[in-house]
Amino acid sequence: MQETEIQPQIEAGRLNDTVQSAKSLRCRRVVDIAFQNIEYQVVDQKGHKRDILRNLHGYCPGGEVTAILGASGAGKTSLLNILAARVYSSKTVKLKGKVLANQMEYDSETFSNFAAYVMQNDVLFETLTPREALQFVADLKYTDPELKQSRVEDTIKTMKLERCQNAIIGGPSLKGISGGERKRTSIGFELVTNPSCILLDEPTSGLDSFTAFQIIYELQLLAHEQDRTIIFTIHQPSSDIYLLFDRVMLLVQGKFIYQGHRTKLVGYFKGIGFPCPDHSNPMDYMMSIMHQESQINIDNFPIYFDQYEKQLHPQVLEEIKESSKTELVYKQVETSTAFQINLIAKRAIKGFVRDKMIIKQRVGMAIFMGLLLGYSYYGIGEDSGTFADYTSMSGCMFFLCINLTMSSLFPVVLQFATERDVFLREENSKLYTTFSYFMGKSFVEIPFCLISPIMQELILYWMIGLNSKDGGVVVTHIFIAILTCLNGNSMGLMAGCAFNDIKVATSIVPLILLPLIIFSGFFANSKQFFVWIGWIQYISPVKYSFEALATNEFDGRSYEFGDPIDTLGFEVGQWESVGILIAFVVAIRFGAYMFLNILRSKQQ
């Protein structure tokens, strides 16, 4: 199909519903993006080097839509990630060259001052509505209440989110808005901060053709009406989507074979001997001559490269030279740490309230375990001082420690896994600091570490007949149970931050826990361990929980065989163990915070 035939179709049909250019979202300054001498090389596990991008120069002007296309593996996403300043040289990756905004070099820190990156997967906080998600960004980015509101309203209008603005976004486990609405929310999430430049990785993937068209159309309006620089990668666009591009970059084996205005593309390829058949989508034709499955294509690659070098490369160099030199002076609004923590905690609470499964799961688990343990050890507290009574009671105390640790550990690992990408995206967009996120999240976890053990222990305490010689013993038992839960919760948070993959986390955590449990002083007496391995007991929070809980329980009980505390080989003391448990909570949480920082720096 010829371009002239498609154009009226778009104008007449789908574009009636024009997106208004909202006042508060007018772009602050036009930004021309350029890159020079980009060389990107990866080293595989055997040490073999592979060139992914080879000496690329490019230009993406402000106020225009630039589409990056190529066969799978051509290097589109790599190039986009480099433009978003998300690639760093490391042992396995070598990156050379410069990325420029209005002729000034930028890095990941300065990128977020004028630009935004929308990832292929829509990483959004599932339990919020689109409006709340946008409000969250506005609250963190602006201080003036009126401006906040107008940014949210204008973004909703621009991204056509009116109909779904109050519906839950949802995710794999929570039904929510449609794929197209999620994508619009994702773009809107970045748009609230009013970036001059928006980079998007495959914004149409997984969408039907009409929704895909609408998304690109809205992006085109953002470029044309609001002077933003729009750059995205895209696979096999339809002919009407193709007509929305201003500029096209075609990549083959990490090198450009075309770069320039969309309107000149067909003519250029005709000129070098590759005419697009009449009535064909030019992009379908381009994809057919770019893929590497055909030997004819591979034989033609040198022609494309050669012609590009001769005809287009000099033009691109000229365009880079002529690109805008207007200075980028953007000042980021920075909200206080306390404000960020408050907002993050409030959002997490909203998440818990809306995703009732989490609350039901944790409360249900506390009631279930309270009853199960209560009936399993029913009445063993009224013992007659026999050795059998002692073994039942010490077993009960030990099992309580394990149960309190595990039941607070695994839910956090699983929950953090679902939230990790949201944190990384938001931190990357410089919405808040890692510290604020960590503290906000920690505050929200604390009520669970109080309510669950209190409920569980109150259910089982008198069923089992645990030590109730005075109120202080009962309170101490519950206090130690809370500390045990806090330790489990902290370990869960640390595991969630330390392991990238949820499957790895859930398989490694039991391996780490096992020695901590074996050396906790129940399965083997701590006095009998070999020195070379016995040190493990000192890094086991379970050991200190067990010692504190068992000492509290055996206080005032007498047994026919002697002192149960001596028999168990306890040496630390009850309150000293409590002190060490508190120190463990602080140390493990600090460790989790460090891992979160490492995770963040690795993802940059």
Ligand X SMILES: Nc1ncnc2c1ncn2[C@@H]1O[C@H](COP(=O)(O)OP(=O)(O)OP(=O)(O)O)[C@@H](O)[C@H]1O
- Asked if residues 19 and 224 have their Cβ atoms less than 8 Å apart, the reply is no
Q: Which of residues 91-110 bind ligand X (CB under 6 A)?
A: 93
- Smallest separation (angstroms) from ligand X to the CB of 67: 13
CA dihedral defined by 306, 307, 310, 312, rounded to 10 degrees? -130
- Smallest separation (angstroms) from ligand X to the CB of 154: 32
Q: Nearest CA to 290 among 49, 72, 112?
A: 72
Contact residues for 168 (Cβ-Cβ < 8 A; gap 6+)? 126, 127, 128, 129, 174, 175, 176, 177, 354
- Asked if residues 390 and 567 have their Cβ atoms less than 8 Å apart, the reply is yes
- Asked if residues 488 and 407 have their Cβ atoms less than 8 Å apart, the reply is yes
- Nearer to ligand X by Cβ, of 258 and 522: the residue is 258
Q: Which helix (H) or strand (E) holds 66?
A: strand 65-70
- Nearer to ligand X by Cβ, of 79 and 481: the residue is 79
- Nearer to ligand X by Cβ, of 86 and 350: the residue is 86
Q: Which stretch binds ligand X (CB under 6 A): 73-81, 191-199, 390-398, 522-530?
A: 73-81
Q: Nearest CA to 410 among 481, 505, 484, 504?
A: 505
- Nearer to ligand X by Cβ, of 41 and 149: the residue is 41
Q: Which of residues 5-64 bind ligand X (CB under 6 A)?
A: 42, 52
DSSP H helical ranges for 22-124: 76-83, 108-114
Q: Which of residues 75-94 bind ligand X (CB under 6 A)?
A: 75-78, 93
> Cα–Cα distance between 323 and 314 in angstroms, integer?
14
- Smallest separation (angstroms) from ligand X to the CB of 402: 41
Q: Which of residues 157-176 bind ligand X (CB under 6 A)?
A: none
- Smallest separation (angstroms) from ligand X to the CB of 497: 22
Q: Kindly determine how many residues on this chain lie close enough to bind ligand X according to the rule CB under 6 A.
A: 11
- Smallest separation (angstroms) from ligand X to the CB of 577: 47
Q: Tell me the torsion sign for CA atoms 142, 147, 148, 150.
A: negative
Contact residues for 240 (Cβ-Cβ < 8 A; gap 6+)? 6, 9, 10, 14, 213
- Nearer to ligand X by Cβ, of 44 and 382: the residue is 44
Q: Which stretch binds ligand X (CB under 6 A): 66-74, 146-154, 398-406, 469-477?
A: 66-74
- Nearer to ligand X by Cβ, of 70 and 260: the residue is 70
- Interface with ligand X, residue 203, by CB under 6 A: no
- Interface with ligand X, residue 489, by CB under 6 A: no
Q: Which helix (H) or strand (E) holds 171?
A: none
- Smallest separation (angstroms) from ligand X to the CB of 601: 16
Q: Nearest CA to 249 among 230, 265, 236, 228?
A: 265
- Nearer to ligand X by Cβ, of 37 and 90: the residue is 90
Q: Which stretch binds ligand X (CB under 6 A): 71-79, 110-118, 168-176, 512-520?
A: 71-79
- Nearer to ligand X by Cβ, of 186 and 408: the residue is 186
- Nearer to ligand X by Cβ, of 22 and 249: the residue is 249
Q: Which two tokens stand for residue 180?
A: 């197209």
> Cα–Cα distance between 490 and 398 in angstroms, integer?
20
- Interface with ligand X, residue 72, by CB under 6 A: yes
φ/ψ of residue 229, rounded to 5: -95, 120
> What is the identity of the amino acid at 598?
I
The DSSP symbol for 312 reads: I
Q: Which stretch binds ligand X (CB under 6 A): 65-73, 144-152, 161-169, 351-359?
A: 65-73
- Nearer to ligand X by Cβ, of 78 and 186: the residue is 78
- Smallest separation (angstroms) from ligand X to the CB of 93: 5
Q: Nearest CA to 516 among 368, 396, 409?
A: 409
Among 31, 33, 74, 265, binds ligand X (CB under 6 A): 74
Chain contacts with ligand X (rule: CB under 6 A): 42, 52, 70, 72-78, 93
